[in-house]
Structure 1
Amino acid sequence: MAYEFQVAVDAADPHTLADWWAETLGWEVEPSDEAMIRGLVAAGHASEDDTKTHNGVLVWKLGQAIRHPEGLARAPRVLFQTVPEAKTVKNRMHLDVRVGADDIEKVAEQLIERGATFSHRGRVGPSSWVTLLDPEGNEFCVSA
């Protein structure tokens, strides 16, 4: 049996990081259901402390997801979730943003202008990539 999965990314500020990654990938931030959130708070299933306002919208404080604009059939959901500790070591798993061989440098430069940090360039045989850090220091590669 095959399973579906989502990618979870630890974050200090999941909503801001979700916004950055949604723009980076051309994806969309999952919309918030403010009426549902208010209803759960009113019914005592959640508290106001579980929520916050982000970009003028009531959201769950602990996390924010992004999705491919064509839905889960196209790509897995990515969930950014709050964790109490700061990132301290290299990621053991990371995303490769595949842009095509001709656009690696151009896209890497655009992402650096938007808040990514350059880490290093890599090459194995005919394959090359640029490793960057997102605004919270998570490694990812721009590759073919």
Structure 2
Amino acid sequence: MACRITELVIDCRDPETLAEFWCAVLGYTVLERDDIGDIEIGPGGTELGEDGLRLVLSRSDDPRHGKLPLHFDVNATDRDQDEELQRLLDLGARTADVGQTGEESWHVLADPEGNEFCLLRRRVDPAASR
């Protein structure tokens, strides 16, 4: 039997702000808050191990050094790439420069704490994205 990734932990200064941002981006809900300020978000109504990756936003004041070795790629589910780009910017994302040429079919963005992610061109089925 193989393992499956069920949770991704992101160290951050402000779990509340990132939870609000990523819930809005991904259509997730807050699933749990612990006593030290960590927040777990994911598709609503799922148990751990069921469909959908959960994100744990873990409070940390450790300084971040340089570009992250891991990032999200997201695809729109109900609109084209340009409309989704505007929605993400309205939610608080900002454009990021990681050395792209401008000829890419994706947009590089950063969340409110500067964590890079890419908006890809393809539209995906909402049910398959959970």
With normalisation by structure 1, the TM-score equals: 0.69
Residues 32 and 39, structure 2, Cα contact 8 Å, conserved in 1 = no
Partner SS state of residue 92, structure 1: coil
In 1, Cα distance between the equivalents of 2:76 and 2:17? 23
Number of residue pairs matched by the alignment: 114
**Structure 1 residues 2-57: Cα deviation after superposition (integer angstroms, max 9, x where no partner):** 2232111110011221121011101111145xxxxxxxxxxxxxxxxxxxxxxxxx
1:81 aligned partner: 58
Residues 12 and 86, structure 1, Cα contact 8 Å, conserved in 2 = no
In 2, Cα distance between the equivalents of 1:85 and 1:74? 32
Shift of 1:106: 1.4
- Using the aligned pairs only, state the percent identity: 29
In 1, Cα distance between the equivalents of 2:35 and 2:75? 31
* Unaligned segments of structure 2, at least 5 residues: 123-130
Shift of 1:122: 5.5
Residues 24 and 91, structure 2, Cα contact 8 Å, conserved in 1 = no
Residues 72 and 118, structure 2, Cα contact 8 Å, conserved in 1 = yes
* Unaligned segments of structure 1, at least 5 residues: 33-58
**Structure 1 residues 53-98: Cα deviation after superposition (integer angstroms, max 9, x where no partner):** xxxxxx5233101111252522111101012223231111111111
More helix by share: 1
Residues 15 and 59, structure 2, Cα contact 8 Å, conserved in 1 = yes
With normalisation by structure 2, the TM-score equals: 0.76
Runs of 4+ in 1 over 4 A off after TM superposition: none
